[in-house]
């Protein structure tokens, strides 16, 4: 049956995902992913998956994907929404503590997700993706850095401290559909493919691969190669930045490094160094 003309599902350039094909490809013996569901529309996949985990209805390895997300959750209370089937909006449930990762290394999980997404999209979409600390994904559009994706990790205390990791990526958004002019999409970045099925497979496989390396090293960012990989792909390092701190206040200086806890080390013009664990980072100039 063809979609109704003008309906939410009528854009033939944006076909729906095939849950059965995704399950066959991604749920394999010994693999990380154990369950995969696709919903047509929801407010937030992170909220839905966290609630299911708290009720005992979802366990580690669950993947929840939305064709349309109306109240996606970002950092600092921001929302994330986009036209139906124009992006990849999904959450996964992971249990790092069960998998041998100590509490002190959990801050690396959203950074790990950024490395996995960038690695996957370089292969599957042919797009050079860079990472803006702590959890934004950037592409180049008309010579400018544009945010096209974000990552949000949330603990679920009712599920023994399991973590819901949400990822949102603008895939086929056209210029007139961008939520703000400074946003981007894989389409606008010249991706060789905006077929969401292979892109999603690539991202989830890369996420499973990096998570496996990380947990095999007991969460150690150096031993797993995560620290070096994130630093190599991070567009923030070496830049002059303004860090807007939680609760008010700001720092200005050069983003020099990531420390062992994944914090951003900022050197001010006054010669002081600050390790920032959470902040909204604004890039002030290119290197």
Per-domain residue ranges of the chain: 19-233, 240-285
Helix (H, G, I), strand (E, B) or coil at 78: coil
Place of tokens 């006054």: 270
DSSP assignment of 22-59, as one string?
HHHHH--TT-S--EEEEEEEES-HHHHHHHHHHTTS--
Contact 93, 161 (CB under 8 A): no
Contact 150, 45 (CB under 8 A): no
Contact 244, 200 (CB under 8 A): no
pTM: 0.93
Helix (H, G, I), strand (E, B) or coil at 20: helix
Quickly list H helices, 85-224.
Answer: 109-124, 196-216
Q: How far apart are CA 224 and CA 211, in angstroms?
A: 9
Helix (H, G, I), strand (E, B) or coil at 173: coil
Report the top-level CATH class of 19-233.
alpha beta
Phi and psi for 101 in degrees, rounded to 5? -100, 120
Query: pLDDT truncated to tens, each residue of the chain (287 aa)?
Result: 334 444 444 567 899 999 999 999 999 999 999 999 999 999 999 999 999 999 999 999 999 999 999 975 554 455 656 899 999 999 999 999 999 999 999 999 999 999 999 999 999 999 999 999 999 999 999 999 999 999 999 999 999 999 999 999 999 999 999 989 899 999 999 999 999 999 999 999 999 999 999 999 999 999 999 999 999 999 999 999 999 999 899 999 999 999 999 999 999 999 999 999 999 999 997 54
> What integer pLDDT is reported at residue 13 of this predicted model?
81
CA 4 to each of CA 9, 11, 40, 103, 172: distance values in angstroms, whole numbers, following the listed order: 7, 10, 16, 50, 21
Contact 76, 280 (CB under 8 A): yes
Angle between helices 19-26 and 196-216 (to 10 degrees): 30
DSSP 239: S
> What integer pLDDT is reported at residue 78 of this predicted model?
57
In Å, how far from its chain's centre is CA 33?
A: 17
Beta strands in the chain (DSSP E): 35-42, 62-69, 72-73, 79-80, 87-94, 130-132, 136-141, 144-156, 162-170, 240-244, 250-258, 264-267, 273-276, 280-285
Contact 102, 127 (CB under 8 A): no
Given the candidates 2.60.40.650, 3.40.630.40, 2.30.30.100, 2.40.110.10, the CATH classification of the domain at 240-285 is 2.30.30.100
Place of tokens 């366990």: 59
């Amino acid at each position: 049956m063809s979609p109704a003309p003008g309906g939410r599902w009528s854009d033939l350039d944006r076909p729906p995902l095939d849950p059965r094909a995704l399950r066959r490809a991604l749920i394999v013996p010994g693999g990380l992913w154990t369950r995969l569901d696709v919903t047509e529309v929801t407010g937030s996949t992170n909220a839905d998956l966290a609630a299911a985990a708290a009720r005992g209805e979802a366990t580690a390895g669950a993947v929840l994907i939305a064709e349309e997300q109306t109240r996606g959750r970002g950092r600092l209370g921001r929302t994330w929404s986009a036209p139906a089937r124009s992006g990849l909006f999904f959450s996964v449930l992971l249990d790092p503590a069960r998998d041998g990762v100590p509490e002190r290394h959990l801050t690396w999980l959203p950074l790990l997700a950024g490395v996995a997404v960038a690695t996957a999209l370089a292969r599957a979409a042919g797009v050079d993706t860079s990472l803006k600390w702590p959890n934004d994904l950037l592409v180049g559009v008309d010579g400018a850095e544009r945010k096209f994706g974000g990552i949000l990790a949330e603990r679920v205390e009712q599920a023994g401290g399991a973590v819901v990791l949400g990822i949102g990526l603008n895939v086929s958004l056209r210029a007139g559909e961008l939520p703000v002019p400074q946003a981007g999409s894989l389409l606008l970045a010249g991706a060789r493919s905006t077929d969401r099925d292979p892109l999603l497979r690539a991202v989830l496989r890369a996420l499973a691969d990096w998570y496996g390396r990380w947990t095999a090293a007991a969460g150690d960012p150096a031993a797993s190669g995560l620290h070096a990989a994130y630093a190599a792909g991070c567009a923030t390092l070496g830049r002059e930045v303004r860090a807007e701190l939680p609760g008010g206040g700001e720092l200005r200086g050069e983003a020099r490094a990531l420390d062992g806890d994944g914090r951003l080390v900022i050197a001010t013009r006054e010669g002081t160094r600050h390790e920032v664990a959470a902040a909204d980072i604004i890039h002030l100039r290119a290197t």
